Structure 1
């Protein structure tokens, strides 16, 4: 049985990509098609630097007890700021520690490297929560155990496009006032579709045959993906139609999303229901969703 093509709509990580290693070992042929280009907001990252230099994270009482990260790009922007600011001391007291909350294992790994080098007194939590909603509920319990009375706010470093589930959950008026956690969002990057994406994706799809899987990692680029595949509002248009889109007549295309944010975006904006939503944002989670779906056909 020949390997099943799996098109990963992301930039391949360097020097190794966990998705390539994992799917190559599970009878899939992974192909990476970069979708996004990211632009960091230097002025807002400078604000983060200034918060550290003015003691917002270590004065008593603290203004912020920690930071929330739900994207790799936000961590990269934060890391870039720290690496460039050689004159700023990021000394944080050990009790209570600076809390770094994250939603997935990949982000946690990057944060761990950064923490070990620059923020040795910080602690990382939430790597196994999988979704923003799960992370928010985890934070409510964990943060209360660290700050049972006065709760400093959390700083949430975000991109321009994001869901509001975390601040809404943490500041929900239905929660007793003493249990709520204030959240301040700061946009540190914006994301756009690479000019070359649609053509590159169409070329790969057009050369495909048989069943293929397309894994979508972000709401950005969904419209171009659906247009190439001839799905959702683009059914019957372009170089193909129905579930085949621009692929050959013998090709069947299935779509998986890395999590609920992208699934909901496809559903709400384009009326398209992805075949799979990964239960966890990881290679293992994507495969679990695919195997469960294929087992039900």
Structure 2
């Protein structure tokens, strides 16, 4: 039997790239959710109402529009997603209540995992929309890419310098979680930017996150169920790190060098990136075996392969 690889995350819907990758790479992927995600139904209803009211209408302002009329027709020319949970919340709303209008617009995202989830949504519900930003990797890089890409799109549509002012240019809707960084709004709406470069972006909180009470118990059960060596644990965020180390008796929870060495023969730890690695280092004095160079199934898998060949 292939050794398990415990993925400390909620399995993405409708498909998960980590399951696809590791199930064909001599591992048995097992998802152990760390975080509980609760959708904000009232805010998602508001998002749906934006579609119903024409806020995403493909109609563009013309030179005949007055500034007042254009501003009154507040609408968006695209959407931004930087987490899979935001995509899933939006998808859930569509599946439950439908989408009253299907515009053709740019969808901006960051990182391959969120891009894959967004692609599934796009293919089913927004087939004429386009996805951009997968290669950026960070919110800051995505924001700078949007300043060039989105402004370029608007100039092609309007071909009128007057309509490039921030008051008339369609903004972007950013679906976010309760906890998020503000680098994207700050970059797009930087008052130091020229007026024709600045982009209005509205954030809508569509989900909140908290650590699951059952995580430590479920993680311990999965660890105990495997008696062989070579099991991997992939950590996707600082949440759950303390419970993971406590179950494995590693870091500050080691019960002596013998216990730690025995655990290390059985379990290896990989992090999705430097933020989680540094959290383990700085808060618990624990060094994971692997830190993925890229936050993707391939990035994690290749890092594990290099480690095992050393």
The answer to whether TM tops 0.5 is yes
2-structure distance, mates of 1:55, 1:243: 65
1:209, distance to aligned residue in structure 2 (A)? 5.2
- For residue 89 of structure 1, the aligned residue among 90, 97, 100 is 100
RMSD of equivalent CA atoms: 3.4
Partner of residue 131, structure 1 = 138
Greater helix fraction, Structure 1 or Structure 2:
2
Kindly provide the CA deviation profile for residues 157-181 of structure 1, in whole angstroms up to 9, marking residues without a partner as x.
Answer: 1112223332233334554443233
2-structure distance, mates of 1:201, 1:30: 13
Secondary structure (helix, strand or coil) at the match of 1:213 reads: strand
Pick which of 268-277 and 160-169 moved more.
Answer: 268-277
Partner of residue 169, structure 1 = 187
Give the conservation status (yes or no) of the 8 Å contact 2:252–2:284.
Answer: no
Pick which of 201-210 and 68-77 moved more.
Answer: 201-210
Unaligned segments of structure 1, at least 5 residues: none
Count of equivalent residues = 285
Give the conservation status (yes or no) of the 8 Å contact 1:104–1:126.
Answer: yes
Give the conservation status (yes or no) of the 8 Å contact 1:214–1:256.
Answer: yes
1-structure distance, mates of 2:182, 2:191: 15
Partner of residue 160, structure 1 = 178
Question: Which entry has the higher C-alpha Rg, 1 or 2?
Answer: 2
1:284, distance to aligned residue in structure 2 (A)? 0.4
Q: Please, what TM-score do these two structures have when normalized by structure 2?
A: 0.75
Kindly provide the CA deviation profile for residues 132-191 of structure 1, in whole angstroms up to 9, marking residues without a partner as x.
Answer: 333223222211211242443221111122233322333345544432333222211112
1:201, distance to aligned residue in structure 2 (A)? 1.5
1:216, distance to aligned residue in structure 2 (A)? 1.6
Partner of residue 69, structure 1 = 81
The 5-angstrom pairing of residues 52-63 of structure 1 reads: 52-58=51-57, 60=61, 61=70, 62-63=74-75
Q: Where do 4+ consecutive residues of structure 1 move more than 6 Å?
A: none
Kindly provide the CA deviation profile for residues 23-50 of structure 1, in whole angstroms up to 9, marking residues without a partner as x.
Answer: 2433444333222322100111111112
Secondary structure (helix, strand or coil) at the match of 1:31 reads: strand
Pick which of 207-216 and 142-151 moved more.
Answer: 207-216
2-structure distance, mates of 1:200, 1:189: 23
